[in-house]
């Protein structure tokens, strides 16, 4: 079942650089993640920033979500990272992207929160290569909003608009596609993750984040 999903993601990435699949995340895993993100105490979340390390700035005009990084220490986190690793292997086998590591966080958008148009990586900075987004919202309605819009380039009409429905997966080449999250009417839960290649020279391994 997952193998077929991995195969389809790899094929669509090859054909068009992105893939959007509904009901793609295994149901048990999706339920465990949806439960965990709602059970997390508020203090585990922090206001999301823009940029990495020293370039990190709080930028409330650009994004308003709160995030919590996912690690191996919980059952749901462990299962998610294991699943993401299998996807990594399948994509590397099929596309030779050389994906090397994966980092991901839960994101909670409260009603009215947004993330303006941005790219997840910039050409020449070989860090984030592939973006993976998973949605954790049972019974999401079109009227709830919160769509992810994906653009072919700045200043163009969106290529697609994705509702953050339970089990939907979005994968795209991080450098290629500007995208944004429109405000929702209600709490919106997602996971955003990035596969990276090892850009360190010699035997140095890039530090995470
Ligand atoms: C991000 C992002 C999309 C979403 O966190 O970089 O674009 O739909 N998230 O949550
Ligand atoms: Mn993004």
Alpha carbons within 13 A on the beta-carbon side of 90: 18
Residue 23 CB partners (closer than 8 Å, separation 6+): 167, 168
Locate the ligand 1 atom nearest the alpha carbon of residue 190 and give its number: 10
133 CA to middle of ligand 1, Å?
A: 7
pLDDT score for 58:
57
Locate the ligand 1 atom nearest the alpha carbon of residue 170 and give its number: 8
**pLDDT band at 57, cuts 50/70/90?**
low
Locate the ligand 1 atom nearest the alpha carbon of residue 67 and give its number: 5
19 CA to middle of ligand 2, Å?
A: 15
Least confident span in 1-5, 38-42, 151-155: 1-5
- Residues with beta carbon inside 6 Å of ligand 1? 107, 115, 120, 133, 148, 179, 181, 190, 192
116 CA to middle of ligand 1, Å?
A: 10
pLDDT score for 174:
96
What is the distance between the alpha carbons of residues 53 and 51, in angstroms, rounded to a whole number?
7
Domains of the chain: 2-196 (2.60.120.620)
151, 178 contact by CB (below 8 A): yes
pLDDT score for 47:
86
Q: Looking at ligand 1, which residue's alpha carbon is closest to its atom 1? A: 192
User: Measuring CA to CA, which residue among 136, 77, 138, 65 is closest to residue 102?
Assistant: 77
Q: Does the pTM exceed 0.75?
A: yes
Mean pLDDT of the chain: 91
pLDDT in tens, 81-130: 999 999 999 999 999 888 999 999 999 999 999 999 999 998 777 589 99
């Amino acid at each position: 079942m997952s193998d077929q999903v991995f195969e389809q993601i790899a094929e669509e990435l090859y054909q068009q650089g992105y893939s959007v699949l509904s009901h793609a995340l295994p149901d048990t895993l999706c339920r465990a993640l949806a439960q965990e993100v709602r059970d997390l105490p508020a203090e585990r979340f922090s206001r999301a920033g823009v940029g990495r390390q020293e370039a990190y700035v709080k930028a409330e005009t650009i994004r308003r979500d709160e995030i919590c990084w996912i690690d191996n220490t919980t059952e749901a986190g462990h299962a998610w990272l294991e699943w993401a690793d299998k996807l990594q292997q399948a994509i590397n086998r099929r596309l030779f992207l050389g994906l090397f590591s994966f980092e991901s966080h839960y994101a909670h958008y409260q009603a009215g929160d947004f993330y303006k148009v941005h790219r997840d990586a910039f050409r020449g900075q070989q860090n984030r290569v592939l973006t993976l987004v998973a949605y954790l919202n049972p019974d999401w309605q079109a009227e709830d909003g919160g769509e992810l819009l994906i653009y072919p380039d700045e200043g163009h009409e969106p290529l697609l608009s994705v509702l953050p429905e339970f089990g939907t997966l979005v994968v795209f080449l991080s450098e290629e596609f500007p995208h944004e999250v429109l405000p929702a009417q209600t709490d919106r839960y997602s996971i955003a993750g990035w596969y990276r290649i090892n850009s360190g020279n010699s035997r140095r391994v890039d530090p995470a984040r």
